[in-house]
């Protein structure tokens, strides 16, 4: 944490090297998350680039009371949202654009006997609930941090995590029943 704060101070002073080192642990994690939200791998990469540049430019506004990862994810979600902002493309249209062939998530998942649960999650959950589930189970984020990242109340986060879990539970059960007849 102390090292992270030192790197933040150096990056604030304009050191690109310090910033690169600071975000090195988060870049792939962010890209993995963005792949689940964007229509193509190119969009996900663009969103990652925009996220890192925005984080570098506005590092002075980072509040050390937050976890750095929470702050980064918040920017990433905003940037991914811009790619299918209502004035550009309708959200449903954006989902349609993510066809099987171009779906970056499908491209990034190794062949497996069972369906990746995140693919099912994206099919049955809304964008925000999906993001909450991802931050909780893929990133081990606390409920408080998730609510800050998504700019939602803690109670909204708790309720929707519970709903998301129920939906995915039934998906998991259906998959198990299907597998074992």
Residue 88 CB, nearest approach to other proteins (Å): 21
Residue 178 CB, nearest approach to other proteins (Å): 15
Structural contact between residues 54 and 75, judged by C-beta atoms closer than 8 angstroms:
yes
**Is 143 one of the binding residues for other proteins (CB under 8 A)?**
no
**From the list 105, 125, 132, 146, which residue makes contact with other proteins (rule: CB under 8 A)?**
105
Q: Determine the Cα–Cα distance for residues 124 and 54; give it in Å rounded to an integer.
A: 31
Residue 22 CB, nearest approach to other proteins (Å): 11
Query: Near other proteins by CB under 8 A, which window of 2-10, 69-77, 79-87, 130-138?
Result: 130-138
Identify which of 19, 33, 28 has the alpha carbon closest to the alpha carbon of residue 68.
19
Structural contact between residues 73 and 30, judged by C-beta atoms closer than 8 angstroms:
yes
**Is 163 one of the binding residues for other proteins (CB under 8 A)?**
no
**From the list 10, 27, 40, 78, which residue makes contact with other proteins (rule: CB under 8 A)?**
27
- Other Cβ atoms within 10 Å of 162 Cβ, number: 10
**Is 110 one of the binding residues for other proteins (CB under 8 A)?**
yes
- Please name the helix (run of DSSP H) or strand (run of DSSP E) that holds residue 171, with its range, or none: helix 154-180
Q: Which residues of 70-108 are buried (b: 16+ CB within 10 A; e: fewer)?
A: bbbbbbbbebbeebbeeeeeeeeebeebbeeeebbbeee
Number of residues that bind other proteins (CB under 8 A): 40
Structural contact between residues 164 and 125, judged by C-beta atoms closer than 8 angstroms:
yes
Residue 147 CB, nearest approach to other proteins (Å): 19
**Is 31 one of the binding residues for other proteins (CB under 8 A)?**
yes
Binding stretches for other proteins (CB under 8 A): 11-12, 14, 16, 19-20, 27-28, 31-32, 35-36, 45, 48-49, 52-53, 56-61, 105, 108-110, 112, 116-118, 121, 133-134, 137-138, 165, 168-169, 172
């Amino acid at each position: 944490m102390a090292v992270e704060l030192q790197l933040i101070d150096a990056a604030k002073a304009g050191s690109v090297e310090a910033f690169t080192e600071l975000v090195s642990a988060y870049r792939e994690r962010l890209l993995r998350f963005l792949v689940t939200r964007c229509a193509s791998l190119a969009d996900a990469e663009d969103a990652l680039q925009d996220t890192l540049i925005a984080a570098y430019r506005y590092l002075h506004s980072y509040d050390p009371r937050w976890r750095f990862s929470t702050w980064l994810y918040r920017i990433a979600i905003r940037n991914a949202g811009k790619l299918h902002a209502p004035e550009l493309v309708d959200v449903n249209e954006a989902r349609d654009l993510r066809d099987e062939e171009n779906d970056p998530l499908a491209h990034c998942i190794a062949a497996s006997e069972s369906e990746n649960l995140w693919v099912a999650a994206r099919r049955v959950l809304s964008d925000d609930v999906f993001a909450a589930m991802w931050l909780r189970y893929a990133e081990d984020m606390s409920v408080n941090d998730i609510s800050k990242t998504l700019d939602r109340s803690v109670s909204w986060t708790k309720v929707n995590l519970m709903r998301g879990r129920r939906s995915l539970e039934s998906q998991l059960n259906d998959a198990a029943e299907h597998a074992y007849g």
